[in-house]
Structure 1
Amino acid sequence: MNPKMNEKVTNIAQFVVLLIFGILLMIPFLWMVSVGFDRTANITLPFPPRLIPEEVASFNYKIVFENGRLVQSYLNSAIVTISSVLLQVFASLLAGYAFSKGTFKYKKLLFLLVLCTLMIPMEPRLIPLYTLFNKVDLLNTFWPLILPTVINGMLIFLCKQFFDQLPSTLREAAQIDGAGEFRIFFTVYLPLAGPIAATMVILSFIWSWNDFMWPLVVLSDQDLHTVPLYLSSFALENGTSLAGLTMALATVSILPIIVLYLFLQRYIIQSIALSGVKGE
């Protein structure tokens, strides 16, 4: 067998294996969508599980979209998520550029401290953060959900690695023209950071939209509940008695993430491709 034929067979085998694993990963999601379209699932959860409901109906989704509390939770999640994403991505781009191209004292030590924050899980920070926001009287507001997310060690690390791949000669040329650091960042490097910014938007959006533990601690007013909190409370109140409606709610809750990813996926692929470009 010639090398071209070997390569073709290998590519087909890889595609088949990836397709099988992709289908296996999609089965739980497809089952969730299927139960949402199954009107009888509100009486009893179908067993054994089936991907095609016996009676397909949009009844559950009509109730979901007519639910005022869901609409309010969507608005709450949108406010928190959009604010967190904008602040987090902008701060990470600035910090990543500073750690990559900047020259200041203790730069390596400060970057090491940033990386050390990645080893601290959320659980040990709950009590200190709760105490802090309680003292400044910001509990039961959106501020505790937005402010702590502005500085994110993982996103800063990704930004630094991305800016490390861009040529430093761009900065030197701009400095010769008399540009300051902020002008260099906004006019030279920021326009090139679209791919990594799109990747950070996706990650930040997922983290903020799906956040459950911290909002549960700081939000006591139901009118301020985000989508995960509302979905959790609905599931606890009804259990499996309204499984179809619960699954419809779960499907609707993840739609923003899917839509955002479909719009930004090409930029994410581009950021991965650019990570192999070495700048001097």
Structure 2
Amino acid sequence: MVMPFVWMFISAFKSTPEIRQHPTSFWPIDPTLDNFAELFGRLDFTTFFANSTIVAVCVTLGNIAFSSMVGYALAKLQFRGKRLLFGMVLTTLMIPGVVTFVPLFVLTANLGLVNTYPGLILPFLITPVGVFLMRQFMIGLPDDIIEAARIDGASEWRIFLRVILPLCGPAIATLTILTFLGSWNNFLWPLVVATSEEMYTLPVALALYSISQNAAQYGLMLAGAVVVVVPVLVVFVLLQRYFVQGIALTGIK
């Protein structure tokens, strides 16, 4: 499982002719940093990296906030239509994203959000997966602590922020990894919504600029893949323990 990533990292320091030679060599014969120099120089990957970071961080924070709110309401609050609302959330899990892609783009265009950060971020600020994940975790929390907080005079907002969220560390870590990974690797939506180079994210820029004169620049492609993969690996390593706990405690298989 690890070897493809090792080969990707090592080959990022090879030139394209060396990568394409047959038989290929595992270690670079003539190591070079030209791929990374071109990546962050001529192609201005710093801008693309910043765009991906802004979008992924905003989408992740939005999902943590809003999915937690909805999950808490569905798990611990009593109101009319609660089961119907949760059923609608489960129904949306069965609908492929491609089905809603065109109407979502039309709505974004009508709002004038094409080629803007809100256009890249707003459609994904809350997801049914996040709501389901947080609801399943919160429903396992004891009601006694909530009732005790209410008796002490705490409002629902205070209970949510000071009692519930601190107990949801594993679920929040799981949601963070899943959301960050999905947003960071999202390709189709940024490809359609971002119409100028200034708004390209890393996956879009990597796909568009790693092809030159109908020939793939494999060295540039692998260097870009390293840049794309490293942040995801860092996030996963930092939150791995909580991620495993969250998957186990929410019952997701």
In the TM superposition, 1:1-280 aligns within 5 A as 25-39=1-15, 41-42=16-17, 45-67=20-42, 69-237=44-212, 240=215, 242-272=217-247, 274-275=249-250
Q: CA-to-partner distance for each residue in 1:76-134, whole Å, 9 max, x for gaps?
A: 11111111111111101111111111111111110010111111112121211111111
Q: CA-to-partner distance for each residue in 1:37-94, whole Å, 9 max, x for gaps?
A: 223x346513345432333333323433434521110111111111111111110111
For the 8 Å contact 1:96–1:160, the answer to whether it is kept is yes
For the 8 Å contact 2:211–2:217, the answer to whether it is kept is no
SS of match in other structure, 2:126: coil
User: Counterparts of 2:205 and 2:3 in 1: how far apart (Å)?
Assistant: 25
SS of match in other structure, 1:110: helix
User: Counterparts of 2:240 and 2:42 in 1: how far apart (Å)?
Assistant: 31
Query: Mean Cα displacement is larger for which, 67-76 or 192-201?
Result: 67-76
SS of match in other structure, 1:165: coil
For the 8 Å contact 2:202–2:228, the answer to whether it is kept is yes
1:151 to partner: Cα distance: 2.1
Query: Mean Cα displacement is larger for which, 78-87 or 57-66?
Result: 57-66
Question: What letter matches 1:227 in structure 2?
Answer: L
Seen in structure 2, the aligned counterparts of structure 1 residues 172 and 241 have a Cα distance that, compared at 3 Å, is closer
Query: Mean Cα displacement is larger for which, 235-244 or 216-225?
Result: 235-244
Give the structure with the larger helix fraction: 1
Seen in structure 2, the aligned counterparts of structure 1 residues 99 and 46 have a Cα distance that, compared at 3 Å, is farther
TM-score (norm 1): 0.83
User: Counterparts of 2:29 and 2:215 in 1: how far apart (Å)?
Assistant: 18
Query: Mean Cα displacement is larger for which, 241-250 or 122-131?
Result: 241-250
Question: What letter matches 2:127 in structure 1?
Answer: N
SS of match in other structure, 2:142: coil
The structure that has the greater radius of gyration is 1
TM superposition outliers: structure 1 runs of 4+ over 6 Å: none
Seen in structure 2, the aligned counterparts of structure 1 residues 239 and 265 have a Cα distance that, compared at 3 Å, is farther
Question: What letter matches 2:8 in structure 1?
Answer: M
Question: What letter matches 1:201 in structure 2?
Answer: T
User: Counterparts of 1:113 and 1:34 in 2: how far apart (Å)?
Assistant: 47
SS of match in other structure, 1:97: helix
Question: What letter matches 2:172 in structure 1?
Answer: A
User: Counterparts of 1:226 and 1:172 in 2: how far apart (Å)?
Assistant: 46
Question: What letter matches 1:78 in structure 2?
Answer: T
Question: What letter matches 2:100 in structure 1?
Answer: R
TM-score (norm 2): 0.91
User: Counterparts of 2:105 and 2:249 in 1: how far apart (Å)?
Assistant: 40
User: Counterparts of 2:156 and 2:235 in 1: how far apart (Å)?
Assistant: 32
SS of match in other structure, 2:49: helix
User: Counterparts of 1:215 and 1:132 in 2: how far apart (Å)?
Assistant: 15
The RMSD of aligned alpha carbons is 1.9
Q: Which runs of 5+ in 2 are unaligned?
A: none
